[in-house]
Amino acid sequence: MISKVYTCAVTGINGLIIEVETDISNGLPGFTIVGLPDAAIRESKERVRTSIKNSNYDYPLKKITVNLAPADIKKEGPCYDLPIAVSILHASGQIISDDIDEYLILGELSLDGRVKPVNGVLCMVADGVKNGYRKIIVPFKNANEAAIIKDAEVYPVSSLKETIDVLERNNDIEPYELMEDDINKISREYDDFIDIKGQENAKRAFEIAAAGGHNILMIGPPGSGKTMLARRLPGILPDLTFDEAIEITKIYSITGKLGMSGSIINTRPFRSPHHTISKISLVGGGRIPHPGEVSLSHYGVLFLDELPEFQRDALEVLRQPMEDGVVSISRVNGAVTFPCSFMLVASMNPCPCGFFNDPVKECTCTPTAIKKYLSKISGPLLDRIDIHIEVSPVKYDELEKESKGESSSQIKERVNKARKLQLKRYERSNILCNAQLTAGMIKKYCHIDESGRKILKAAFEKLGLSARAYNKILKISRTIADLNGEENISAENIGEAVQYRSMDRKYWER
């Protein structure tokens, strides 16, 4: 008899329905798995065989053929153990179930028949439900993750025997209900801007960055507080929507970073990789495609501290994902895409010793050394960072001051208002914030009046700004106007925006 049982594979963050077909016939005894299984699945045979025996079922001494369809997609990972075992038991008549083909069955098996958790369950359940499979059997430790999907009927199991009980309805098992308290929301407390003394210019720049989704680069000597500022950015970004949280959770699910009973990640990720990171770890890839740091900061912040210290090719491969918001990893059999809509925050010293242009300390670098250092950041990369600010060390008087600055929640309120304006304005286009404006859209949405044009012209001539800077200044002034709740961009807005692009000349002479 042939048995068909259904399970799920994950490509990127999408789940794909896989059919596990088992045929048991007379002939020389053997167990073959076909359908492009990888090494982990070929090892399944041993786990499946022993689990069946140790669960007190009969392992058929016949010719067992298991096919994982569709046959042209590579199957990877140990999550097929359970569906294969179930399929064999069903084909040999040891499981009686007339709706076995309505279930999705996921799980790895250990030798004694226990079901172990797998990665990517959230992606599998989400797409499984979309494809019409509402009844899903998952490993016990993945239950909280699976149950987040509202329409799914989740049956958590901890052994092969329990799985059979569910399929045969032996104990009238109810689907798993996720209680409010159980939803293990993985929240992080973000550091608060109230901790930062002084640095009003920098705080303002971060507020603008948050409001418009602009990438930001900080240049300053060591110890001026660049890292402190960066860490506080996620705390002033708007709250995640449910769909955004699910997308982030899917990415963490497939990398196994969700933790034992985690269900949903509902705060924006903050990733700060060390500058020795390889380009594959940064952007994604590997023999079995894995998401990189850019995807792990999806809908969050990627902080690259000491930007010039990063490998050149690592920085080069950043450009496309920053532009597209997705990473596409090509393999011979097709491409795998991971989303990566992140905000980039970068920091750097102005020169190798760190004190170029410092008001107090002497810079000990030669002009060539400075030029070489700064040229590690390519033009095209700079092009994708809208806001540049200088961060100088805080003066002693400021450090001593008792009076506190604004808290993150106060700043966040203004950011939220500005974001709402943008959502409304771009309702019919397919962007969400000012940072995403293309050159064509800038003309439409960033209209400036005569006085504004005058200021812009003066700035260009006096400061020697480049064409690159022109569009950036318009975008930033659009955000500044939004922060004021104004539809029209005033000359003052432009004046302020110019500050954030005036360093091109000073540091890069462009």
**Contact residues for other proteins (CB under 8 A)?**
26-32, 45, 61-63
b/e map 332-357, b = 16+ CB within 10 Å: eeeebbbbbbbbbbbbbbbbbbbbbb
Which residue's CB is nearer to other proteins, number 28 or number 332?
28
Which residue's CB is nearer to other proteins, number 63 or number 290?
63
We find the least distance from the C-beta atom of residue 85 to other proteins, in angstroms, to be 17
We find the least distance from the C-beta atom of residue 65 to other proteins, in angstroms, to be 10
Q: Are 118 and 141 in contact (CB under 8 A)?
A: no
* Cα 325 to Cα 330: distance, rounded to the nearest angstrom: 16
* Cα 371 to Cα 380: distance, rounded to the nearest angstrom: 17
Cis peptide before 70 (omega within 30 of 0): yes
Q: Are 1 and 93 in contact (CB under 8 A)?
A: yes
In three-state secondary structure terms, 57 is coil
Which residue's CB is nearer to other proteins, number 61 or number 467?
61
Which residue's CB is nearer to other proteins, number 46 or number 168?
46
Distant-in-sequence, close-in-space partners of 176: CB < 8 Å, separation ≥ 6: 143, 146, 147, 154, 155, 156
Which residue's CB is nearer to other proteins, number 34 or number 288?
34
Which residue's CB is nearer to other proteins, number 34 or number 458?
34
Which residue's CB is nearer to other proteins, number 46 or number 398?
46
* Cα 27 to Cα 149: distance, rounded to the nearest angstrom: 45
* Cα 252 to Cα 187: distance, rounded to the nearest angstrom: 14
* Cα 422 to Cα 104: distance, rounded to the nearest angstrom: 41
* Cα 173 to Cα 431: distance, rounded to the nearest angstrom: 46
We find the least distance from the C-beta atom of residue 21 to other proteins, in angstroms, to be 18
We find the least distance from the C-beta atom of residue 58 to other proteins, in angstroms, to be 12
Which residue's CB is nearer to other proteins, number 30 or number 325?
30
Which residue's CB is nearer to other proteins, number 28 or number 467?
28
* Cα 160 to Cα 166: distance, rounded to the nearest angstrom: 10
* Closest-CA residue to 327 (of 363, 357, 286, 285): 285
* Cα 106 to Cα 304: distance, rounded to the nearest angstrom: 38
Instruction: Give ∠ CA 453-455-460 in degrees, rounded to 5.
Output: 95
Half-sphere exposure (CA, 13 Å, Cβ side) for 441? 16
We find the least distance from the C-beta atom of residue 64 to other proteins, in angstroms, to be 9
* Cα 327 to Cα 317: distance, rounded to the nearest angstrom: 10
We find the least distance from the C-beta atom of residue 133 to other proteins, in angstroms, to be 32
